Amino acid sequence: MREQAVIIGIAGGSASGKTSIAHQLYDCFQGHHKVKIMKQDDYYKDQSHMVFEERTKTNYDHPFAFDTDLLVEHLKKLKNKETILKPTYDYTLHTRSHITETIEGRDVIILEGIFVLAEKAVRDMCDILVYVDTDSDIRFIRRLRRDIEERGRSLDSVCKQYLETVRPMHEQFIEPSKKYAHIIVPEGGSNIVAVDLLITKIKSIVD
């Protein structure tokens, strides 16, 4: 087993299927290796000093919304299989939760998030870079359903946020970051062939 962890970065638009692919990779490796899924979203800046109303106005699809310095610091430690204390994020409150997770050294780190490819310091930490490429209408439908069912949003708030920030920021930052990918996966987690190829490649590095 390698002394350093292998870090797989998975980027793509909101609701493109990053989490689904991350879980498929996790399920494949976890019996044989120590694996951890890391969400870039856990590194959204803490906004507990702001009232809830103010937090709803934050642009969550701009790089400034993230504490990327902390994420990179943690990735460096994880690369060396050191322990970190990871923050966790609460989408319903739009801020960090009080829970901190201790993560001990792992062989494989699967990092997923909208800016994993767009942020140079983050992508430089990854051994394999994946972009999940799913059409925007499909992503919008999935996001609408998910944000209402799981993130405590209303129909109007999802539509407003999508038009005002999610869509323009996707076009400005996320879509252009596709050029940094080693592998582009169309159709997200339902693309079994692409996920199988990815698993084969990761196995060749890890084993």
Residue found by looking up tokens 């909101």 in the block: 14
H or E stretch including 11? Answer: strand 6-12
Which pair of structure tokens corresponds to residue 127? 């051994």
Does the annotation flag 39 for ligand binding? Answer: no
From candidates 11, 25, 38, 61, binder to ligand LLZGTKA7 by CB under 6 A: 61
Size of the site for ligand ADP (CB under 6 A): 13
Please give the distance of CA 93 from its chain centroid, rounded to a whole number: 19
User: Judged by CB under 6 A, does residue 175 bind ligand LLZGTKA7?
Assistant: no
Residue 131 phi, psi dihedral angles, 5° rounding: -120, 125
Task: Choose, by CB under 6 A, the member of 108, 126, 132, 166 that binds ligand LLZGTKA7.
Answer: 166
154 vs 190, which CB is nearer to ligand ADP? 190
* 34 Cβ neighbours under 8 A, 6+ residues apart: 105, 106, 107, 108
Kindly calculate the radius of gyration of the chain based on its CA atoms and give it in whole angstroms: 17
Q: Which does 175 bind (CB under 5 to 8 A by kind): ligand ADP, ligand LLZGTKA7, none?
A: none
Question: In 3D, which of 124, 127, 134, 151 has the Cα closest to residue 188?
Answer: 134
Closer to ligand LLZGTKA7 by Cβ: residue 14 or 134:
14
The only residue of 190, 192, 197, 205 in contact with ligand ADP, by rule CB under 6 A: 190
Give the nearest distance from C-beta 149 to ligand ADP in angstroms. Answer: 8
Q: How far is the CB of 141 from ligand ADP (least distance, A)?
A: 8
Q: Three-class SS of residue 120?
A: helix
The single residue among 114, 116, 122, 195 that binds ligand LLZGTKA7, judged by CB under 6 A, is 114
Q: What is the SS3 assignment for 62? A: coil
Can you tell me the distance from the alpha carbon of 197 to that of 160, in angstroms, rounded to the nearest whole number?
38
- Residues that constitute the known binding site for ATP: 12-19
- Residues that constitute the known binding site: 12-19
Site for ligand LLZGTKA7, rule CB under 6 A: 14-15, 18, 41, 44, 60-61, 91, 94, 114, 166
